[in-house]
Homo-oligomer: A and B are copies of this chain.
């Protein structure tokens, strides 16, 4: 039984990132995230420090929410954790995260034992996509694919209401799909990965390259001439201020992203593609050319049944999705 009559129950969602840890309580039946808190990961202080911080945040969130609702700790079903990967979901182990410097780290059980609650572990990009499926943009579809554009490009695949993991938990690495067979070298070792054309750093790099060839743009002024300070966020900002060069970069990004999204539509024929990350701030300046590029590239009968939409759970998709993974694994149904 998921919920006792008349008593609200929650799942704690934990979203561990390279920069921040985000924690909140998600009602088992869905609803608003409560007791939400964010603190820096400070991974340089070591794994024990990070785990202690995560445990403290979980305890604080539980204390706050149960006190507010006059509930007991029994109202908390458990903890869902989202972490950068690769990881082994079965053993709850982080195999290797370059950002945190961890190797074969038994994150799930360390947290579970410290808070005396059952816990689950899944990949952060999978969690973000699953969160959008459960309570965000995808709450009315069964099958969706998520692209998260940031420093890298992550992704997740939800098929018939379940995260699709593949045979070694790698499925969904949409950022490392080749769209230019002889293109830019990627840090994954491949050439021409989507990530090299549509991630935040790729956008900033293209902006700097353009300015260095003499293009006039607001961007130069916005960073006080220090080109190394240009970020994707500043490019979106300039595009919204009608800077022609910044708009051209957003447009180009939309075209590259469109090639990647069209590939997914021809291969998986999903009901929805959800785009998350800072780039969605560019709004229609991104989505109009993105959808046009997909129309140009994908099979008509596949694109006609596929919505391409921005994510809705800004900042909480990871927490909601980590809780959703716990719910699915512990209770079977969503």
Contacts and interface: CB of A to CB of B under 8 A. Distances in A.
A180 B297 CA distance: 12
Given A181-B179, A181-B256, A259-B178, A165 B269 contact: yes
A249 to B, nearest CB: 16
B170 A143 contact: no
Contacts of A168: 269, 301-302, 304-305
Contacts of A179: 178-181
Contact of A170 (B86, B164, B181, B266): B266
Highest count of chain B CB atoms <10 Å: which of A167, A302, A305: A167
A171 interface: yes
A94 interface: no
A132 interface: no
By size class, the interface of chain A is 35 or more
Interface in A105-120: none
A172 interface: yes
Interface stretch (A184-192, A220-228, A229-237): A184-192
B263 A177 contact: yes
Contact of A267 (B197, B267, B297, B302): B267
A267 B263 CA distance: 10
> Which 4 A-B residue pairings sit nearest by Cβ, starting from the closest?
A166-B269, A170-B302, A171-B269, A173-B266
